[in-house]
């Protein structure tokens, strides 16, 4: 292996690592706020990428129907769980959010899609049609289980992932897609050449991470979410609604996941089930960070991305095995360190 291959592999690794870091951050966010291990974040990667790919072809993406479906389910569950305190306001708010909003987005997408709008508008439409799914999944699936144990929530997450992958196959088909790069620029620094898309991935990731940092450090909502993460009951007692925090965390995670999918789809072909493996790698990073530490998770994502990149060069068939086996030594070290007994809640 000469230096130029090393540089290319390293660069590839860093670009994938940026996506894994985003997903890892989203998972840490959702876990700390709601105790949900958000396995279906991978589906947001797939759905975001495939929605954009459909829009590029002038077709309405299948996510439109998912949006209507889950909006309705979320609305029904919301009305049911608030049936004792139903007021006209709750009715209207629920209706606006779970029926009017999805119908409006769907109408917009169906109207605009055949005209092949500009790339930026396509990206916005892909986000608009995918991100609200995060809120609806929370409302329909997780909200009724707010008191359940971490393990039950995990089983539900995995079940939801399985169901969504099946729906993805129905709505997007078995073929993979690759979208047009967001940027055609190409930078050359001596031997090193950086594609515009890779640059876009790094810039957007950096901006999102900085944005999250500012959001949690500087805004009231961010601090409220942090408070919920640290102590759920305490946060509730000082008037921070767990419902609000949960919805916000899921919405943000859906946004991050969809953005990740849109960023990575010009670099690799995305199938209806690709997102799971991508999400899982973000997850390996999140686990290394103990599902609580943002900086460790981001650092671990870098490690995962680079190991994967070199593994795919030296042993492409065992690439996935090598990546997932990273967690074995990590878990081993953790298990040696945390032998203190405690009862789980």
Partner 1 sequence: MRSTQVAALLAFALAALLPMLPGVPAYWLTLGSLIGLSAMVALGIVVLTGVAGVVSFGQAMFVGFGAYTTAILTTRYGWPPLATLPVAVLLTGLLAWGIGAITLRLKGHYLPVATIAWNISFFYLTGGLDAFGRFDGISGIPPITIAGLSFAGGASFYLLTLAILALMVVATANLLDSRAGRAIRALRGGVLAAESFGIDTGRARILAFVYAAVLAAISGWLYAHFQRAINPTPFSVTVSIDYLLMAVAGGVGQIGGALVGAGLVTLVRDKLQDVLPALLGTAGNFESIVFGFALILILQFAPEGLWPHLRRWVGRRPEAPAGSPVAAAPSPPPAGAPAGAPAPLLSVVHLRKTFGGLVAVDDLTFRVGAGEIVGLIGPNGAGKSTSFNLITGMLPANGGSIGFRGEELRGWPARRIAPLGLARTFQHVKLVDGMSVLDNVAIGAHLHGRAGPVAGALRLDRAEEARLFARARAALARVGLPGAGDTVAGELPLGQQRLVEIARALALEPALLLLDEPAAGLRHAEKQALAGLLRAVRASGVGVLLVEHDMDFVMELTDRLVVMNFGAELAQGRPAEIQANPAVVEAYLGSAA
Q: How many residues bind partner 1 (CB under 8 A)?
A: 51
Q: How far is CA 277 from CA 42, 53, 57, 273, in A?
A: 7, 19, 26, 8
Nearer to partner 1, 11 or 268 (CB): 268
- Binding partner 1 (rule: CB under 8 A), the pick from 104, 110, 162, 230 is 162
Nearer to partner 1, 36 or 208 (CB): 36
User: Binding of partner 1 at residue 144 (CB under 8 A)?
Assistant: yes
CB 301 to partner 1: min, Å: 15
CB 183 to partner 1: min, Å: 33
- Binding partner 1 (rule: CB under 8 A), the pick from 6, 91, 314, 332 is 332
Contact, 272 vs 172, CB < 8 A? yes
User: Binding of partner 1 at residue 15 (CB under 8 A)?
Assistant: no
In this structure, what token pair is assigned to residue 62? Answer: 């299948």
The contact pattern for partner 1, residues 202-221, with x = CB under 8 A and - = no contact, is --------------------
- Binding partner 1 (rule: CB under 8 A), the pick from 7, 90, 112, 154 is 154
Nearer to partner 1, 183 or 268 (CB): 268
Closest CA to 142 of 70, 53, 201: 70
Q: Which helix (H) or strand (E) covers residue 141, if one does? A: none
Nearer to partner 1, 93 or 334 (CB): 334
Contact, 150 vs 38, CB < 8 A? no
CB 251 to partner 1: min, Å: 20
CB 208 to partner 1: min, Å: 24
- Binding partner 1 (rule: CB under 8 A), the pick from 104, 152, 210, 230 is 152
User: Binding of partner 1 at residue 37 (CB under 8 A)?
Assistant: yes
User: Binding of partner 1 at residue 233 (CB under 8 A)?
Assistant: no
Segment near partner 1 (CB under 8 A), from 83-91, 156-164, 177-185, 204-212? 156-164
User: How many separate helices (H) and strands (E) can be counted in the chain?
Assistant: 15, 2
Nearer to partner 1, 104 or 321 (CB): 321
CB 318 to partner 1: min, Å: 6
Closest CA to 268 of 258, 259, 278: 278
DSSP 270: B
Q: What is the CA radius of gyration of the chain?
A: 20
Contact, 72 vs 100, CB < 8 A? no
Q: How far is CA 187 from the centre of its chain?
A: 29
For residues 83 and 225, give the distance between their C-alpha atoms in angstroms, rounded to a whole number: 27
User: Binding of partner 1 at residue 103 (CB under 8 A)?
Assistant: no
CB 247 to partner 1: min, Å: 18
Cross-strand partners of 193: 188
Nearer to partner 1, 11 or 81 (CB): 81
In this structure, what token pair is assigned to residue 199? Answer: 């640059």
List, as own/partner pairs, every contact residues 29-33 make where C-beta atoms lie below 8 angstroms and the sequence separation is at least 24, other chains included.
Answer: 29/212, 29/225, 29/249, 29/252, 29/253, 30/249, 30/250, 30/253, 31/286, 31/291, 31/292, 32/229, 32/291, 32/292, 33/225, 33/228, 33/229, 33/245, 33/246, 33/248, 33/249
For residues 60 and 108, give the distance between their C-alpha atoms in angstroms, rounded to a whole number: 10
The contact pattern for partner 1, residues 260-299, with x = CB under 8 A and - = no contact, is -----------------x--x--xx--x---x--------
Which stretches of the chain bind partner 1, using CB under 8 A? 37, 141, 144-145, 148-152, 154-156, 158-167, 169-170, 173-174, 277, 280, 283-284, 287, 291, 317-321, 324-325, 327-328, 331-332, 334-335, 338-339, 341-344
């Amino acid at each position: 292996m000469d230096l130029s291959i090393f540089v290319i592999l390293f660069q590839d690794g860093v670009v994938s690592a940026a996506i894994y870091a985003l997903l890892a951050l989203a998972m840490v966010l959702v876990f700390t706020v709601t105790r949900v291990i958000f396995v279906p974040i991978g589906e947001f990667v797939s759905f975001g990428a495939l929605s954009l790919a459909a829009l590029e072809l002038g077709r309405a993406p299948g996510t439109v129907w998912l949006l209507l479906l889950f909006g309705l389910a979320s609305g029904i569950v919301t009305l049911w769980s608030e049936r004792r305190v139903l007021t006209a306001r709750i009715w209207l708010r629920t209706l606006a959010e779970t029926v009017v909003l999805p119908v409006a987005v769907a109408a917009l997408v169906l109207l605009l899609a055949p005209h092949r709008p500009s790339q930026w508008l396509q990206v916005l439409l892909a986000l608009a049609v995918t991100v609200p799914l995060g809120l609806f999944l929370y409302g329909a699936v997780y909200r009724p289980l707010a008191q359940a144990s971490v393990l039950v929530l995990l089983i539900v997450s995995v079940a939801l992932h399985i169901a969504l992958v099946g729906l993805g196959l129905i709505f997007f088909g078995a073929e993979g897609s690759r979208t047009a790069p967001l940027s055609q620029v190409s930078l050359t620094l001596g031997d090193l050449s950086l594609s515009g898309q890779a640059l876009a991935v790094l810039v957007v990731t950096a901006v999102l991470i900085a944005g999250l940092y500012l959001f949690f450090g500087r805004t009231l909502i961010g601090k409220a979410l942090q408070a919920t993460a640290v102590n759920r009951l305490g946060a509730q007692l000082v008037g921070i609604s767990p419902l609000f925090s949960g919805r916000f965390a899921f919405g943000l995670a859906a946004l991050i996941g969809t953005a990740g999918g849109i960023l990575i789809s010009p670099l690799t072909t995305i199938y209806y089930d690709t997102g799971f493996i991508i999400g899982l790698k973000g997850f390996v990073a999140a686990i290394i960070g103990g599902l609580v530490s943002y900086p460790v998770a981001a650092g671990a994502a870098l490690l995962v991305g680079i190991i994967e990149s070199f593994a795919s060069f030296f042993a492409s068939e065992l690439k996935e095995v090598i990546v997932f086996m990273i967690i074995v030594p990590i878990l081993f070290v953790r298990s040696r360190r945390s032998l203190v007994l405690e009862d789980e809640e």
